[in-house]
Structure 1
């Protein structure tokens, strides 16, 4: 398989899959190798606060990740990159990288992706299901409740036929804990 360097693709593995926020010409299922989807970022802005951080997804080293690749029109490239930098690099917990991904049909493309910076203070590392669920069930940030972020992500993963067993367990446990919170 060859990589077409003239095309510009963006890889989404979390909220970008269901809320890209930019124009695209094509959307394809994509598989990224060497990184996995992980609820490993303490969110101080969108899904929590510094006092009560939430958790959002990051691409962490190891494994592989099924997600979505968006092909961007050449004339929109700069605007999309600017938008993504503003969205993803708020606290610089992510690093911008170009990574090879395989589209659903087996074609390899170069994608723009945002991976976790393990040295950043917001990196949560590998959490247990209970630790993650406890955080997710109660955190709220400027973009809403953390539990809604996890629910939306899981719903869209299901729509795409993608199973993320660990995230599914966290979602169920967070729902159970959230149901017990005072109204």
Structure 2
């Protein structure tokens, strides 16, 4: 058996589980947003952190990394148990098509697992929803938890995306606003090359929502 998992947040730089292959690429129809609360890793119940999740958005693409776990059911089970504990604030699993830069029409992989969250404050207690940029920056600049402070999570994500060669302008904008709050120098925007339109032909199949597990102090 083979398990593929798509990482778009801290999994990009810190997967935390044993994997056999890592491939840089993207999924279609989603954008990265900082709309999810974290109360046990980078924040507390009294002062929750903001971490990223995915929001369905037509025409969008989200770059990240796909991780492959090979070696049979036991190895896959071990990886899934770890991920379900770590990603306990994400209440859904979704299967997506995964594309690489060399082939933007035909997916390299299908049925790649990604952890997502229900964008509803009633059914998902961790969902914060969108907020003005300045408000999000203030929250991220001050939140801290067992795994470190919230701003480190944001800055490490910004660097990880730069390291794989696919900056996210919304992440740079948010990170610069946090730096402004902290009195730090902002990162200049780099001139980007024009990217050809990538048609949406993925078949995204949502799976069942999972009950929220007890949180543990692992970065999400």
Shorter-chain TM-score bucket reads: 0.7 to 0.9
Matches of 2:77 and 2:110, distance apart in 1: 18
Task: Return the offset for 1:105.
Answer: 4.1
Matches of 2:67 and 2:30, distance apart in 1: 18
* Structure with greater proportional helix content: 1
Distance 1:81 1:104, change over 3 A: farther
Deviations 1:95-120 (A, max 9, x none): 12222212344323321111111121
Look up the SS of the partner of 2:158 in the other structure.
helix
Task: Return the offset for 1:61.
Answer: 1.5
Contact kept? 1:103, 1:109, Cα under 8 Å:
no
What is the Cα-based RMSD across aligned positions, in Å? 1.6
Runs of at least 5 residues in structure 1 that lack an aligned partner in the other structure = 1-5
Contact kept? 1:129, 1:166, Cα under 8 Å:
no
Runs of 4+ in 1 over 6 A off after TM superposition: none
1:113 is the counterpart of 2:108: no
Structure whose alpha-carbon radius of gyration is higher:
2
Contact kept? 2:29, 2:61, Cα under 8 Å:
yes
| Aligned residue number for residue 102 of structure 1 | 99
Within-5 A mapping of 1:26-175: 26-62=21-57, 63-75=60-72, 76-89=75-88, 92-106=89-103, 107-119=108-120, 120-175=124-179
Distance 1:77 1:105, change over 3 A: farther
Matches of 1:104 and 1:22, distance apart in 2: 25
Contact kept? 1:35, 1:64, Cα under 8 Å:
yes
TM-score normalised to structure 2 length: 0.74
Matches of 1:33 and 1:7, distance apart in 2: 22
TM-score normalised to structure 1 length: 0.88
1:21 is the counterpart of 2:21: no
Number of residue pairs aligned between Structure 1 and Structure 2:
173
Look up the SS of the partner of 2:127 in the other structure.
coil
Runs of at least 5 residues in structure 2 that lack an aligned partner in the other structure = 185-220
Matches of 1:103 and 1:71, distance apart in 2: 15
Contact kept? 2:31, 2:62, Cα under 8 Å:
yes
Look up the SS of the partner of 2:181 in the other structure.
helix
Task: Return the offset for 1:79.
Answer: 0.6
Matches of 1:10 and 1:104, distance apart in 2: 18
Matches of 1:103 and 1:52, distance apart in 2: 38
